[in-house]
Every structure is written in C-alpha cells, then in structure tokens.
Amino acid sequence: MPPKSYVVALEEHYQDSELKQHREGGVAERLDDVGALRLKEMDEAGIDLQVLSHANPGLQGVDGATGVPLARRINDRLRAAIERHPGRFAAFAAVPTADPKAAADELERTVTRLGFKGAMINGLTQGVFHDDRRFWPLYERAAALDVPIYIHPALPQQAVIEAYYQGYVDTHPGLLRAGWGFNVETATQGIRLVLSGVFEAHPGLKIILGHMGEGLPFYLWRITHGLSRTMGEKTFREIFCRHFWITTSGFFSDPALVCCMMEMGIDRILFSVDYPFVDNPPAAEWIKTLPLSAEDREKLLNGNARRLLKL
C-alpha cells in the first residue's frame, strides 16, 4: 500500500451559536461541534485538514444592520475555535453581503488578521444574484487579496419553489436541495458571474463551486455554444476555466470526476466532503479507488488546495 495521502477537505460546515437562530435545523450536533466529535470523524476518514465555513444561508440570511456587527463576532469565534486544534482547521469567512462594502472590509480583516483563506457566500442576498454590481466591491477586494470566493447553494426563493417545485416539496424536500434546486440556482450564479463582466473588471478573481461545479462542467460545451454569438472576445469556456475551481463536495462519482477532468483539467478540482450534510466515510471509501495517477491524486487531495488557498 502506498503511504496515506495528506487530505484537505474544503467545503466542511459548522454553525455559530449566535447565527444559528437564523437557519433551519438538521444535523445540529455535528454542526455545533468544532472539537472532539468532528476530529474523531476526520481521523476515522483520514481527513487531515478541514476548511470550515458556516452552514447555509450564513450571513446571506440576515440584513446588513444585523449582519455587519454579527460577522465580526462569528469570524472571531471561528478563529478561536480553530486555534484550539492547531493544524486541523482553516476557515472561509462569513461576510455580510447585504452591505457589500462592509463585506469586503470583513473579508480583508479575516484574511489579513485572522489568517482566513477566502469567504463563502450562500444562495442569494435578499433575492438578488451575486453577479449584481452592488456586490463587486467584494470581488474587487478578493482579487486584491488573492483569495477565492466560494459560491455555495441555499434554499431557492419562494417564487422559484412555487413555479418549479410545487407538488413535490412535501413528499421530496430534497428536491429543493441536493436533489436539484441547489444545483440549478448555484450553476445560474456561476453563469451570471461570467456574463456580468466581473472577471474582465477583476482579472485576478477566483471562484470556487462545490458539487463538481454544480453541473457546469458537464454543460460546458453546450453553454459555450449557446452563448457564442453574444460573448465578447473570450468564450464562456475560456472565462469559466480561467476563473473557476470546483470541489467534489457531496458528489463521489467517478464518471462525474472524469467529465470534470476532461473539461477543466485536474488542476481545477479539489477534494471536499460537505460534512456534516454528507458523511465522511463514503468520501473516504471513494478516494481509495480514484481513477487517477498518483500525481493527479495528490493534486486532488491536497496539492490544488495548497496552491489555491496558500496552505
């Protein structure tokens, strides 16, 4: 047997004791824990480092007046939690996007003072997609700091639920989430960001999408073709493959991985679990049989994360 690889997982969630009143329940015990239980389950699965982020909707679920001061408290508490277990955790900041300038300032504070690796934002902010120009101060700052923004799903808007999913919400609540709703909305965020021109304005901007890129790698040829007449100098594919990284969070499928590798290259794909919404063991089993060369396996499990997050 080859020596065990160092394994970084970077879409791993927790919840803050104060912010959790703004989110619906589920897997509470594991979300609350940034200590013994989490470390035990990491060790059992061979996961060396988790990059922690607040469970959705995070600060995207609160208004600016609440979110701005709350963000500092949340991120300071997360930093304190991480310090209790040196070498086992890193963090993506929670940022109060309802006040984009304050969100940019909080990103900078957490990166420069707390050692955070970027930020995660969830779903929409007060019903607005994050390509809107009001949010660009956050992207400008992220590019200046050379840290990525992780775009994560949250529950679809009520009007979308009614138009797209009614009739199945009660019998199949997962349809709004990993069963489809999450993917559609977050892929739409990615497409809208490309169309917005934000990457031309901020060429250093780096975006991470979870869940194997929320389906976008699979659709890359067709989206590029469908938008080819109206794109500017660069194609959709060129912009996407230059500015986006994707993770395996909650998506442990060889065919999906191979598709993403063929479209984007292994250098753009990073291992993640999506703990605790997804259990560690299936991910740990999957990585034992990855259809990858030894070198590519190391890139997926730690090398790409080391480079992107400067670990």
Residue nearer to Zn ion on the CB measure, 185 or 296: 185
Distance CA 2, CA 5 (A): 8
Mark the segment that binds Zn ion (CB under 5 A) among 169-177, 187-195, 274-282, 291-299: 274-282
Instruction: State the nearest-atom distance from the C-beta of 153 to Zn ion, in Å.
Output: 7
Which residue out of 132, 274, 279, 296 is catalytically annotated?
Answer: 274
Mark the segment that binds Zn ion (CB under 5 A) among 4-12, 23-31, 199-207, 251-259: 4-12
Instruction: State the nearest-atom distance from the C-beta of 78 to Zn ion, in Å.
Output: 16
Instruction: State the nearest-atom distance from the C-beta of 272 to Zn ion, in Å.
Output: 8
Taking CB under 5 A as the rule, which mask of x and - marks residues 224-263 in contact with Zn ion?
Answer: ----------------------------------------
> What are the CA-CA distances from residue 7 to residues 41, 49, 173, 252 (Å)?
13, 7, 32, 15
Residue nearer to Zn ion on the CB measure, 22 or 202: 22
Residue nearer to Zn ion on the CB measure, 99 or 214: 214
Residue nearer to Zn ion on the CB measure, 9 or 220: 9
Residue nearer to Zn ion on the CB measure, 214 or 274: 274
- Which amino acid type is present at position 152? H
Q: What is the size of the binding site for Zn ion (CB under 5 A)?
A: 2
Residue nearest to Zn ion (CB): 274
Contacts of 120 (CB under 8 A, 6+ apart): 53, 54, 58, 92, 93, 94, 149, 150, 151, 152
Structure tokens, 225: 């073709």
Residue nearer to Zn ion on the CB measure, 105 or 274: 274
**How wide is the angle at C-alpha 48 spanned by C-alphas 30 and 240, nearest 5°?**
90
Binding of Zn ion by 106 (CB under 5 A): no
Distance CA 82, CA 72 (A): 15
- Cis-peptide into 57, omega within 30 deg: yes
Question: Out of 217, 274, 276, 305, which residue is the one contacting Zn ion (CB under 5 A)?
Answer: 274
Mark 261-288 as b/e (b = at least 16 C-beta within 10 Å): bebbebebbbbbbbbbbbbbeebbebbe
Check: CB of residue 121 under 8 Å from CB of residue 151. Answer: yes
Check: CB of residue 276 under 8 Å from CB of residue 28. Answer: no
Q: What residues does 105 pair with on adjacent strands?
A: none
Instruction: Please say if 267 is a catalytic residue.
Output: no
Instruction: State the nearest-atom distance from the C-beta of 237 to Zn ion, in Å.
Output: 26
Check: CB of residue 107 under 8 Å from CB of residue 94. Answer: no
Mark the segment that binds Zn ion (CB under 5 A) among 8-16, 114-122, 236-244, 301-309: 8-16
Structure tokens, 142: 């992220």
Instruction: State the nearest-atom distance from the C-beta of 56 to Zn ion, in Å.
Output: 7
Which residues inside 11-70 make contact with Zn ion, applying CB under 5 A? 11
CA dihedral 12, 16, 20, 26 (to 10 degrees): 40
Residue nearer to Zn ion on the CB measure, 210 or 217: 210
Instruction: State the nearest-atom distance from the C-beta of 226 to Zn ion, in Å.
Output: 28
Instruction: State the nearest-atom distance from the C-beta of 152 to Zn ion, in Å.
Output: 6
DSSP state, residue 271: -
Residues acting as catalytic residues: 274
Q: Which residues bind Zn ion (CB under 5 A)?
A: 11, 274
